[in-house]
Amino acid sequence: MENNKKAQILCYYLTFIAMGLSAGLLGPTLFGLTKQTGSTFAQIGFVFTVHSLGYVVGSTIFGRLYDKIAGHKILSVMIVFLSIALILISLSTTLWFLLLAALILGTAEGVGQVGVNTLLIWLFGEKSTPYLNGAHFCFGVGALTSPLIVAQLLENGYGFNKAYILVALLILPAIIVFLLVPSPDFKRTETVENTKPVKYGFIILVALFYFLYLGIEISFGGWISTFATTLEISNEAKSAYLASAFWAALTFGRLIAIPISVKLKPRFIITADLVLALIGYVVIAYGGDSFTNTLIGTIIIGASFASIYPTMFSLAGNRFNITGRIAGFFVMGGSLGSMIFPFSVGLAFETSGPRSLIVFNIVMIFIAFGVLFAILASFPKKQLKPTS
């Protein structure tokens, strides 16, 4: 039984590494994709929109399949489509072909996001928070590695699209593990047995928070390299390292968050994260066109975003039992934010210039504060406890 759990954890961590590798490619290759497809910044912003639309489809339509079909079978199919999508992106020479590939990529990632979060909660119940942080740490490992791959390929004279082919080949072997390890069954969380039936208003608030948080994270992570290149803060290759620094901070922040999540209450963790993010944006906004200040601000922002996703997910899991359908609704909220925000930033790039990225994100952070306070106000005080 214990060996099965270890193997299952390996499955989920491999899944998130694969998803991180794919997610980390878009940002540092955005400038190259714009040239390869002959698009403008406003047009290439549709890539994020369609990618997130795929996330919505994957999380809502296919996410509920986890309540009916063995999860590892679903994850193995997801990996196959993830690889196909990456190869299609590398071959894209028109915007429409690129958008189709982005749709497939987003759908696969949405299926994986719902699956890993749901299956870990089924596997560990109320003690799932450290394992959720561990999974999201693995996502960061993958997302951190991708920009490094892109930067190295560019510096050595290879096309950026070779990175997509390389990552597609790297993640395929994970299928073998999924087919050999049994999937966990639904597990009712003991701490929520006697709680009141969850109201849809609470679920909507949590989904709205994910809408804001993921929109901010993806728009910043996706556009920061182009932000630096356009303002001539750094060249294209050097700007790729900004995306890498963002994912590095996110990654190691999640590693640190594992022991912190055992000691501190979720409301403290998430509030501190949002405050830290504001500090990072201020550093970039008032640091001038300095690569060093932009790098420092990027690292602060990445670290601040590290534990938000799994902590909010676990907080909701203490309120009611998470099913594939409910998890899909949360992921859908984040997907819509990921779809709308980067596209909005792309339009702002064209009309107001690249600095609009920072202004837009700061405004959204303040709105996220308001939604967080509404969530905590509707949460019984006795349930606002450590998530371990």
pLDDT tens digits, one per residue of 207-243: 999 999 999 998 898 888 888 888 878 787 788 788 8
Q: Any idea which residue has 């990225």 for tokens?
A: 357
Averaged pLDDT, 114-130: 80
Residue 382 has pLDDT above 90, yes or no: no
Contact status, residue 345 vs residue 357, Cβ threshold 8 Å: yes
Averaged pLDDT, 245-261: 84
CA dihedral 201, 206, 207, 209 (to 10 degrees): 120
Averaged pLDDT, 344-361: 85
Q: What is the CATH number of domain 2-181+195-383?
A: 1.20.1250.20
* Count of Cβ atoms closer than 10 Å to residue 4 Cβ: 13
Contact status, residue 44 vs residue 346, Cβ threshold 8 Å: yes
AA identity, residue 388: S
Burial readout 326-341 (b: 16 or more C-beta within 10 A, e: otherwise):
bbbbbbbbbbbbbbbb
Averaged pLDDT, 261-287: 88
Contact status, residue 251 vs residue 39, Cβ threshold 8 Å: no
pLDDT in tens, 279-302: 999 999 887 788 888 899 999 999
pTM: 0.71
The runs of H, that is alpha helices, within the chain are: 2-37, 41-44, 46-56, 71-90, 95-124, 129-155, 162-171, 174-180, 200-230, 236-263, 266-285, 291-305, 308-319, 324-352, 356-377
Nearest to 335 by CA among 25, 103, 71: 103
